[in-house]
Amino acid sequence: MTELVLYGHPDSGHACKVALALALAGKSFRTIWVDIWADPSTRQAEFLRNSPFAEVPLLMINDKPFVQSGAILLEIADRFNCLGAETEDGLQKGREILLWEANRLGLCLPWLRLERRESGQGFPGGTVDWLRARYALDSERFETFLGRGPFFHGDRPGIGDCAIWGYTQWLKEAGVKPTPVMESWLTQMRNLNAMRTPGEFFPESEITKPAETDNAIE
Ligand SMILES: N[C@@H](CCC(=O)N[C@@H](CS)C(=O)NCC(=O)O)C(=O)O
C-alpha cells in the first residue's frame, strides 16, 4: 500500500489542487498543516528537509518527496493511471492544461487575491489592471480549453480540472467574476462527491479518508 502524506494549508490553491486529485483518485492520504504565513524557518523540520523552497504542496510518497503542484498532479495521474492518464490523449490534454494554468490563471488569481488580502500594500501601481487584463483573456480561453465539457477531461474530471480548480475556487476573493461557462463548470466541481472545502482538506494533521464516490477511480 502506498503511503501518502500531503503538506499543505487551506489558503494554498496549489495544495488544494493536489488534495482534490488524491480525493478524486480515491486515495487515503494524511495531511499535515504547514503555517505558510509564518517565518519559513519555523515550519516542521521534516517539511523543511524535503521542500527546497519551504513551499506547500509537498507530497511524500512512501517517504520520497515530490514538489511543484503540476509535477505532483502528473505523478499521481501517471503512477495510479487515473485522472486522464488512462489514455495518451487524456495525458496530453492534462499536460497542456497544467502548463497553461501555471502561466495564466495560476499567475493572476493568486496575486489578485493577495492584493485584496493585503489591501494593496506592496503592490506597484498598475499591477491590478495588468492582472485583471490577463484574467479577462484567461477566462475566454478557459472556454476554448473546456470544449463541450462538462469537465476539461470530458465526462469525468482529470488533473486539468484539479489544476484549474486550485484558484478559480476563489474568484470572488480575487475580485473577478466568472463567465457563465466558468460558473457552470465551478458548480459541477463543487458538486463532486470527492470535493471538500480547503479547511476540510487541511485540518491540522488528520487522516483524510478517500471519498466513496462515483468520482473515485478505484
Ligand atoms: N510553483 C509552486 C508554488 C507553490 C507556492 O507558491 N506555495 C505557497 C502557498 S500557495 C507557499 O508555500 N508559500 C509559503 C512561502 O513561500 O513561504 C507549485 O505549483 O507548487
58 Cα–ligand 1 center, Å: 10
- Whether the per-residue pLDDT at 216 is higher than 80: the answer is no
CB burial of 153-172 (b: ≥16 within 10 Å; e: otherwise) equals: bbebbbbbbbbbbbbbbbbe
Both 97 and 173 in one domain: the answer is: yes
- Which atom in ligand 1 lies closest to the alpha carbon of residue 53? 16
Mean pLDDT of the chain: 94
- Which atom in ligand 1 lies closest to the alpha carbon of residue 55? 12
Both 11 and 100 in one domain: the answer is: no
Among 94, 151, 118, which Cα is nearest to 37's?
A: 118
**Pocket (CB within 6 angstroms of ligand 1):** 12, 14, 36, 40, 54-57, 68-70
- pLDDT value, residue 213: 39
- pLDDT value, residue 56: 98
- pLDDT value, residue 119: 92
Both 10 and 73 in one domain: the answer is: yes
Who's near 3: CB < 8 A, 6+ residues apart? 60, 61, 62, 63
The rounded radius of gyration (Å) of the Cα atoms in the chain is: 17
Both 118 and 155 in one domain: the answer is: yes
- pLDDT value, residue 38: 96
Q: Name the closest-CA residue to atom 16, ligand 1.
A: 55
- Which atom in ligand 1 lies closest to the alpha carbon of residue 56? 12
* 8 A C-beta contact, residue 146 and residue 185: yes
Total domains in the chain come to 2
- Whether the per-residue pLDDT at 123 is higher than 50: the answer is yes
pLDDT digits (tens, 9 = 90+) for 170-194: 999 999 999 999 999 999 999 999 9
Top pLDDT among 1 and 146 is at: 146
> How far is Cα 89 from Cα 8, in angstroms, rounded to an integer?
30
Domain that holds residue 158: 88-190
> How far is Cα 163 from Cα 157, in angstroms, rounded to an integer?
11
pTM greater than 0.85 (yes/no):
yes
214 Cα–ligand 1 center, Å: 31
218 band by pLDDT with thresholds 50, 70 and 90: very low
- pLDDT value, residue 204: 79
- Which atom in ligand 1 lies closest to the alpha carbon of residue 110? 10
Pairing mode, strands 64-67 and 58-61: antiparallel
CATH of the domain at 20: 3.40.30.10
Tell me the average pLDDT across 29-34: 96
Both 65 and 115 in one domain: the answer is: no
- Tell me, yes or no, whether 213 lies in a domain: no
Q: What values do phi and psi take at 4, rounded to 5?
A: -120, 120
Tell me the average pLDDT across 30-51: 97
> How far is C-alpha 142 from the chain's CA centre?
16
> How far is Cα 95 from Cα 82, in angstroms, rounded to an integer?
14
Ligand 1, from 36, 76, 111: best to mutate by most atoms within 8 Å of Cβ? 36
- Which atom in ligand 1 lies closest to the alpha carbon of residue 106? 19
Where are any strands of DSSP class E within 72-215?
Answer: 206-208
- pLDDT value, residue 20: 98
Q: Which DSSP category does 154 fall into?
A: B
- Tell me, yes or no, whether 218 lies in a domain: no
- pLDDT value, residue 209: 47
Ligand 1, from 11, 48, 51, 53: best to mutate by most atoms within 8 Å of Cβ? 53
- Tell me, yes or no, whether 199 lies in a domain: yes
Where are any strands of DSSP class E within 9-113?
Answer: 29-33, 58-61, 64-67
Both 105 and 166 in one domain: the answer is: yes
- Whether the per-residue pLDDT at 214 is higher than 70: the answer is no
- pLDDT value, residue 1: 87
